[in-house]
Each structure stands twice: as structure tokens, then as C-alpha cells.
């Protein structure tokens, strides 16, 4: 059985067409088992079949993919907290709706309109404002506005008072996270 790093590397080399199939087979035959991705990259670089810069890129890719695959479920959850993934995991949207919203968001960016994904979902009617706020809280993004001074606070204090003027805080009307007027200690 081949090592996972070697399988990833061979797939990458074939997908990117960085090395000809013949060169790859020759290198694999030339090296002794057990074979690692590092051994194969060294051989391809020494033989001149693969440039040093591409060897380095391939090493980084394989390491990154292996780190990603070997994470515990808890670590994976802390990394995979994108807006769309949270909405799908809660059953609020489908993959097709996410793809459609991402496509629309990209079209809007092309005409220099920077809508956040949550705003696109609300506009399309796929999510409610309440659901968007819940997802943002799950991502660790929470905003409130001060009624008195108009300040914007990320992660407001437990007593819901503005640290600048002491005024009452209310949930922000704007869905997307923006720069805040003050840092609020948690």
C-alpha cells in the first residue's frame, strides 16, 4: 500500500501535468520501496524532470493537505467555520443555493458592489436576517450599535452598555461585519 503523501503527490503531478507520465513511471520504478513523496520529489528534481520551484510548491501542497486531513474533528470544526458551511450544516440552505449566492456575489464584486454573502442570501430570500445573525455569532462575529453615540461595537459587553458613552446597545441593522469604533473587553 502506498503512503498518503505519495498518492497526493502523484495526483498533483498528473493533474498539473508538471511531469510527463513516462518520466513519472521511470522515477517510481527507479526508487526503492517504501517510497515517500519527498523521495520522489528529490529524484525528479535531481533528474531534471521537475523544476526546483515546482518541487517546493508540491511539498507545500502535500504538507498542507496532510495537515488538513489529519486534524481532529474539533480542530476541523474550528477551521471550517465559513458562512456557507454553517448554513448548510444547520439545514437552512442547500449546496446549490450556496453556489448560486457565491456566483451572484462574484458578479456584484465585478461591478464594484461589495455585498457580504449573508446580504445576498437575505436579498434572494434564502435566509432571514435572524438566521444570518445566528451564523455570524457562530463564526464569532457579533455587532451592536449604540443608540446614543452611534458607535459600532464588536462582541458587546454582557451588560449591553456602550463603553464610550454608557448608552444602550442594540443589534446592528447592518448584517456584515465592519470596523468598530471601540474595542470592547470581553
Instruction: Cell numbers for 168, please give them.
Output: 444602550
Closest CA to 117 of 174, 171, 176: 176
Secondary structure (3-state) at 146: strand
Q: How far apart are CA 117 and CA 139, in angstroms?
A: 13
Shared-domain flag, residues 122 and 148: no
Can you give the pLDDT at residue 81?
64
Q: How many CA atoms lie within 13 A of 39 on its CB side?
A: 15
Express each pLDDT in 56-95 by its tens digit.
Answer: 888 888 887 777 666 655 554 444 468 888 898 899 999 8
Q: Which of 55-59, 86-90, 133-137, 177-181 has the lowest mean pLDDT?
A: 177-181
The total domain count for the chain is: 3
Task: Please check whether residue 122 lies inside any domain of the structure.
Answer: yes
Shared-domain flag, residues 14 and 64: yes
Which backbone phi and psi does 156 adopt, to 5 degrees?
-60, 160
- Mean pLDDT, rounded, of the chain: 77
Q: Which domain holds residue 17?
A: 4-69
Amino acid at each position: 500500500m502506498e503512503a498518503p503523501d505519495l498518492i497526493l503527490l502523484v495526483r498533483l503531478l498528473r493533474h498539473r501535468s508538471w511531469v510527463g507520465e513516462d518520466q513519472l513511471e521511470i522515477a517510481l520504478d527507479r526508487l526503492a520501496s517504501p517510497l515517500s513523496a519527498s523521495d520522489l520529489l528529490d529524484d525528479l528534481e535531481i533528474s531534471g524532470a521537475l523544476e526546483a520551484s515546482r518541487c517546493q510548491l508540491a511539498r507545500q501542497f502535500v504538507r498542507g493537505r496532510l495537515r488538513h486531513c489529519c486534524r481532529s474533528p474539533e480542530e476541523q470544526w474550528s477551521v471550517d467555520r465559513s458562512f456557507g458551511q454553517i448554513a448548510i450544516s444547520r439545514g437552512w440552505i442547500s449546496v446549490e443555493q450556496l453556489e448560486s449566492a457565491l456566483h451572484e456575489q462574484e458578479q456584484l464584486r465585478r461591478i464594484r458592489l461589495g455585498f457580504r454573502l449573508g446580504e445576498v442570501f437575505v436579498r434572494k430570500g434564502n435566509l432571514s436576517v435572524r438566521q444570518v445573525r445566528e451564523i455570524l455569532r457562530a463564526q464569532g462575529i457579533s455587532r451592536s450599535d449604540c443608540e446614543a453615540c452611534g458607535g459600532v461595537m464588536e462582541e458587546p459587553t454582557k451588560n449591553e452598555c456602550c463603553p464610550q458613552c454608557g448608552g444602550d446597545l442594540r443589534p446592528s441593522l447592518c448584517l456584515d461585519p465592519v470596523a468598530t469604533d471601540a474595542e470592547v473587553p470581553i
